[in-house]
Amino acid sequence: MEKERRLIQIRIQRLKEKIPVSKDNLKDLLKNGLFLFILFFSILFLITIKTHLVSGNSMLPTLQNKDRLFVVKNKEPKRYALVTFQPREKQGESYVKRVIGIPGDRIWMDQNTVYLNHQMAATNPTPPNEKNLSGVELPDGTLKVRVTWEVAAKLKGMSTIPSNSFFVLGDNRKNSTDSRELGLIDQDKIEGVVTFRYYPLARLGLIE
């Protein structure tokens, strides 16, 4: 009995003793930890972020041709945010534009001219008929945009922008293919919200 008790005490004592870690073992632990850390954030990056190469000058002066961007996937587009999307009519392509109209915004038509206003109630009357110009902001904040007749036919009868739909424009409106030709952009076609320009390095930074 005494012998068994002695053996138990010896085992307990050994468990209490600290086992020294060699420098080689410590280096291996640090390397493995760093590898797992990098692997985790690489997977997280691939899941939540995509890249976009700007093609053309439709977003001047905000973005320039060949700018490279980080885009956050599945982020809810806010008004005036930059988004990338796949136009329904041009499979395989990706555009970057600015969100001007969001679901619930007041929208009405005058022939092929669209009026957008997020501040006016749906009962407000149509503003006076002025010259049809692309992207004119009227004194009350209403945006007046001329669209193609095909888009006008699709928007006819709408009083508000439907849910999961967005009206987008290029910042360089004289040289941009956007909702004036493409119509409203469905949310399931939006790839994400532009957050950061990583190239060229001279213009590196967050995108407002």
At which residue do the structure tokens 């060949």 appear?
66
Percent helix, strand, coil in the chain, to 5, is: 30, 30, 45
Residue 207's nearest CA partner among 78, 42, 118 is 78
CA distance 105 to 179: 15
Of the residues 55, 78, 94, 97, only one is catalytic, namely: 97
Of the residues 58, 165, 176, 179, only one is catalytic, namely: 58
CA distance 164 to 190: 10
**To the nearest 10°, the Cα dihedral for 126, 132, 133, 134?**
70
Give yes or no: 55 in active site.
no
Give yes or no: 144 in active site.
no
Q: Which residues, at least 6 apart from 20, have a Cβ–Cβ distance to it below 8 Å?
A: none
Residue 181's nearest CA partner among 138, 150, 139, 136 is 150
CA distance 4 to 29: 38
Indicate which residues carry an active-site annotation: 58, 97
